[in-house]
Structure 1
Amino acid sequence: MAADIKVFLCVGIAVLLTGVGKSAFIGKSHSGGKGDPVLQYVVNNSLREHPVLTKLRLKTLEDNWARMMVAAEQAQLMANLIKLINGTKAIEIGMYTGYNALSMALAMTENGRVVACEIEESYVNIGKIFFKEAGVENKIDVRVKLALDTLKELIEAGEAGTFDFVFIDADKRNYDNYYEKSLELIRKGGIIAIDNVLWGGGVVNPAPNDITSQTLDALNKKLHKDQRIELSMLTVGDGLTIAIKR
């Protein structure tokens, strides 16, 4: 079965799983969707979490900003997408404590590489402990600087068109910039995954003073018309867009 067909099958299954119940939009299993029995059922019967990922998730939940962490079920979906396309090079824009960076690294072969962008060194220091414990610290290249600077450096270093997967989950005002740079960096058939595209439902008729929702809504509408990609928007977590470069 061709890789692109397998990707769409995986995405379709995610739609079926998350579109159950009173509302297709449930939230993350560790925050907004914590009390939803359908989502917890999905997690209980599908999540296969590496032991070190479990440790890192529990450690991250101690932080006041733990709601920023990628949901475990979402990270597993993206790890499976990486496996489906035989991905060996990925970028994470907004690492936080590194749960998803670790998940991606674990999904790759020994020669895999994850470039992880993060500006808060205290979060990086948390993640590195678990990267080492999982034996993948050599796969995760953490860049503690502005993500746009890292993306520009990768392009200048001749790595345009060589990455298999990019995950965008950082400051929303730069999402469009991150998306455009990511399109330069991924290969044909590569995947850009964009987090928080529903923003708790705020993107539906955004309030005049809600700049974040307006920004995300504008990007969602741009991607819908963008003929450079294949597109699916999923109700996983806080909304996850999957864009496949044509």
Structure 2
Amino acid sequence: MNVPANETQFLSMLLKIMNAKKTMEIGFTGYSLLATALALPDDGRKYNIGELSQVPEIIFPMADLSLNHKYLIVHGPVLEYILEKNAYPREHQQLKELREVTAEKCGKRSVMSVPVDEAQFLSMLLRIMNAKKTMEIGVFTGYSLLATALALPDDGQVTAIDLDKEAYETGLPFIQKAGVGHKINFIQSDAFSVLDDLINSEENSSFDFIFVDAEKEDYMKFHEKAMKLVRIGGIIAYDNTLWLGSVAYGQDDEKYSGMPESIWKSKDFVVQFNELIVSDHRVETCLLSVGDGLTLCRRLY
């Protein structure tokens, strides 16, 4: 019944992003209560309303991994419920159309798009942060880019970097139709050259949010660059940090014997990156089991 540790880490980070001072908690023994109290400033106040009684024990079976999507933790019917009853009804029309066109045009490669519920989560996070200046490294057809642009205020700006301009142009008509094209600065380039130019310019350390969804072997290098560009208190988000679940299994494990070679090829890079982040005291971090794994890093100094 206790809140899981990674969920608690996220809630703690969220409270700091919000600059929360007055909160309420209803129920159980106090794990999340303590985490919240630790996250609040000295003059903060948290109200706890007892322990809930007669809570039924619920056990969800672990879903088998499907290589056709990136959801790892949620059982199939539960995932369908999340999408059909929560995510899809709130999906912006142009995001829906882009998702459908991407699936039709790109086939299996459409799995590279950020899942609908993850995009909605990131959109809410951006609004909570009052983010105005963001960056996306790795764009594909632009689903997460469009979701970001929709979440930013009218004078917001997202710098989008990708070598594949053709894929970006798949999403461009939907971006324009949504009326947010003026918020996007797409740069067709190797990301490192753009990042180095920004680091050496007056724009240094000014981004509120940076989303990284690129080659996994470059994640550690991206982290050092991004830390020089995101403001103190800003967020760097790394996608696919569970890497189809491969991070938790050996290559000889029968459960994952059918996993593509490309996944195993990059698995060690993701594992090494996860180890780096958890030991990096410059950031507050949490690894969320949404989509294919999403790591949030809040820069502390």
TMscore range, shorter length: 0.7 to 0.9
Which amino acid counterpart does residue 78 of structure 2 have in structure 1?
V
Q: Are the equivalent residues in 2 in contact too, given 1:195–1:238 (CA < 8 A)?
A: yes
Q: Is 1:31 matched up with 2:66?
A: no
Structure showing greater Rg? 2
Q: Are the equivalent residues in 1 in contact too, given 2:137–2:214 (CA < 8 A)?
A: yes
Deviation at 1:207, TM superposition (A): 3.9
Alpha-carbon separation, structure 1, partners of 2:251 and 2:119: 30
Deviation by residue 1:105-160 (Cα, 9 ceiling, x = unmatched):
10010111011111112112112111111111110100101111111122222212
Alpha-carbon separation, structure 2, partners of 1:237 and 1:184: 27
- Name the residue aligned to 1:15: none
Match of 2:82 among 32, 42, 45: 42
Which amino acid counterpart does residue 60 of structure 1 have in structure 2?
T
- Name the residue aligned to 1:135: 179
Segments of structure 1 that go 5 or more residues without pairing to the other structure are: 13-19
Match of 1:53 among 87, 92, 95: 95
Deviation at 1:46, TM superposition (A): 2.3
Which amino acid counterpart does residue 69 of structure 2 have in structure 1?
S
Q: Is 1:5 matched up with 2:5?
A: no
Alpha-carbon separation, structure 2, partners of 1:155 and 1:90: 15
Q: Are the equivalent residues in 1 in contact too, given 2:63–2:76 (CA < 8 A)?
A: no
What secondary structure is seen at the aligned counterpart in 1 of 2:247?
A: coil
Which amino acid counterpart does residue 46 of structure 1 have in structure 2?
N
* Larger mean Cα displacement after TM superposition, 172-181 or 40-49: 40-49
Alpha-carbon separation, structure 1, partners of 2:124 and 2:64: 22
Q: Is 1:169 matched up with 2:213?
A: yes
Alpha-carbon separation, structure 2, partners of 1:72 and 1:25: 20
Q: Is 1:201 matched up with 2:245?
A: yes
Match of 1:221 among 265, 270, 275: 275
Taking only aligned residues, the RMSD between alpha carbons, in angstroms, comes to 2.6
Structure of greater relative contact order (alpha carbons < 8 Å, 6+ residues apart): 1
Which amino acid counterpart does residue 22 of structure 1 have in structure 2?
P
What secondary structure is seen at the aligned counterpart in 2 of 1:142?
A: strand
Q: TM-score, normalised by structure 2?
A: 0.72
Q: Are the equivalent residues in 1 in contact too, given 2:13–2:284 (CA < 8 A)?
A: no
Which amino acid counterpart does residue 268 of structure 2 have in structure 1?
Q
Q: Is 1:237 matched up with 2:256?
A: no
Q: Give aligned pairs, total.
A: 235
Segments of structure 2 that go 5 or more residues without pairing to the other structure are: 1-11, 21-31, 33-58, 253-260
- Work out the percentage of aligned pairs sharing the same amino acid: 34
Match of 2:235 among 191, 194, 197: 191
- Name the residue aligned to 2:53: none
* Larger mean Cα displacement after TM superposition, 196-205 or 167-176: 196-205
Alpha-carbon separation, structure 2, partners of 1:138 and 1:206: 46
- C-alpha spacing 1:120/1:77, structure 2 compared with 1 (3 Å): same
Alpha-carbon separation, structure 1, partners of 2:220 and 2:278: 13
Deviation at 1:61, TM superposition (A): 0.8
Q: Is 1:90 matched up with 2:90?
A: no
Q: Are the equivalent residues in 2 in contact too, given 1:119–1:146 (CA < 8 A)?
A: yes
Deviation by residue 1:36-80 (Cα, 9 ceiling, x = unmatched):
111121122322111111111111111131011110110111111
Alpha-carbon separation, structure 2, partners of 1:105 and 1:6: 24
* Larger mean Cα displacement after TM superposition, 151-160 or 133-142: 151-160
What secondary structure is seen at the aligned counterpart in 2 of 1:167?
A: strand
What secondary structure is seen at the aligned counterpart in 1 of 2:182?
A: coil
Which amino acid counterpart does residue 56 of structure 1 have in structure 2?
L
Deviation by residue 1:79-119 (Cα, 9 ceiling, x = unmatched):
11111110001111100000101100100101110111111
- C-alpha spacing 1:196/1:175, structure 2 compared with 1 (3 Å): same
Deviation at 1:161, TM superposition (A): 1.3
Match of 1:108 among 143, 152, 171: 152
Alpha-carbon separation, structure 1, partners of 2:196 and 2:70: 35
Alpha-carbon separation, structure 1, partners of 2:165 and 2:279: 37
